[in-house]
Structure 1
């Protein structure tokens, strides 16, 4: 192993067979040694979940020059933890997650297993990126996203990121991408989230559905606006969720009896 070359740890939440992760692997080939540790099946919506009540199993799926691919029975965060602590011969230089089938812009960053994995990399003080394409189809066309996944990965390898920060990168689908916009997360929420239905014995069940309500559709500083205009949105995301602006306003609480 050439320790002078970057070690790239890759994972996702759609499973190691997903088209998106295989496109991502191909897009970063040649940048360094690639270690893939990804779930053995879909794990969407896992956020930063970990497997605390059952053991994890891994299986070596593929090995060739500068590439190893492992499947894991756990969550995306489990994959990052195992990759760093058990499977990598040294600390990875970068963690990249994706390419997710579907958007992780705005508040979706909270629920996303793709971004949970990127945040886990940041917890380990490793520059990390989550990539997503705005197309949920299993056969989504990632052709025009590969240029940006490689460019942004190269940039982070060269410049690094602040400790405790990762990138949430979302890419519009199509062949007319206008470039990159550095953005903030859009304010909004999911509404009408469940569709009532019946199961096979006529018992009520609920299917997760709904739509995203954008509170600020015309704000050019946001990721949803950038995506609507055909730009790749890049949002720096922090692990530290403290509302520092509100700390001083709450200081009087320390005198409560």
Structure 2
């Protein structure tokens, strides 16, 4: 029926009780029929991991009244797969992930469980968006994000997204925002260090530490937008082919000898 509300799948990587998902759920309730399938515990940094070596649990819960909610023992990607195959038995009209506690801009998109859940939605052909706030505090204020979430989701529901793409939306840590900018992903990486320690049994173990290194000075990047008080919107694709490298490789003689 044309008058039916769109079915919106809500998920995250911070866990089903995280404040960020609650904020996202309440905005989505204005726009469609909300179904929540999220991890039962924090899954940050899981990337696109799936569970294959142990069984998955999926339980209906009532963390917040008035919502259809399920928690899973699996990863964020598992949650999207379970939602499509075992909860909805169909593809939702939209998949939204977040709102994450902490940035998923630049290279973070590779490691992010939040974004990987949205990527999985896009792989399924579902218009998908990942939302993140650059504030790691459990007391983070998500209210400034909500008008932007509402507007972005309404626009995607109306216009759709190009095939094979999704949106990575990041909010700066600020009481209000200057506006929205469509950006490219900044060139950056983490420069890791490993703090070596000894456990009570005399065995070595390591804590990964390090710092975020931004190499990109462009003013069209997500990092520039966030540093200057803007909401960044980056179109992301799961086709990781480096198309610009194909002519280069075709000009190389690999000199394969089979005998």
Q: TM-score range by the shorter chain?
A: over 0.9
CA deviation string 1:150-207 (max 9, x = no partner): 1111111111101110111100122131010100000011013433334344543222
Which residue is 1:147 aligned to? Answer: 147
Moved over 3 A (4+): 63-66, 197-203, 252-255
Q: Note the 1:1-257 alignment, pairs <5 A.
A: 4-62=4-62, 67-216=67-216, 218-253=217-252, 256-257=255-256
On the 8 A contact 2:17/2:63 being kept in 1, the answer is no
Structure 2 unaligned regions, length at least 5: none
Q: Aligned pair in 2 of structure 1 residues 4, 235: CA closer, same or farther (>3 Å)? A: same
On the 8 A contact 1:34/1:66 being kept in 2, the answer is no
2:104 and 2:197 map into 1 onto residues whose CA distance is 27
3-state SS, counterpart of residue 174 of structure 2? coil
2:44 and 2:26 map into 1 onto residues whose CA distance is 22
On the 8 A contact 2:83/2:89 being kept in 1, the answer is no
- Displacement after TM superposition at 1:6 (Å): 0.3
- Displacement after TM superposition at 1:241 (Å): 0.6
1:174 and 1:204 map into 2 onto residues whose CA distance is 41
Q: Aligned pair in 2 of structure 1 residues 2, 81: CA closer, same or farther (>3 Å)? A: farther
Structure 1 unaligned regions, length at least 5: none
1:255 and 1:214 map into 2 onto residues whose CA distance is 35
- Alignment TM-score, normalising by the size of structure 2: 0.93
- Displacement after TM superposition at 1:240 (Å): 0.5
On the 8 A contact 1:32/1:66 being kept in 2, the answer is no
2:49 and 2:2 map into 1 onto residues whose CA distance is 33
- Alignment TM-score, normalising by the size of structure 1: 0.94
- Displacement after TM superposition at 1:254 (Å): 6.7
CA RMSD of aligned residues (A): 2.0
On the 8 A contact 1:97/1:117 being kept in 2, the answer is yes
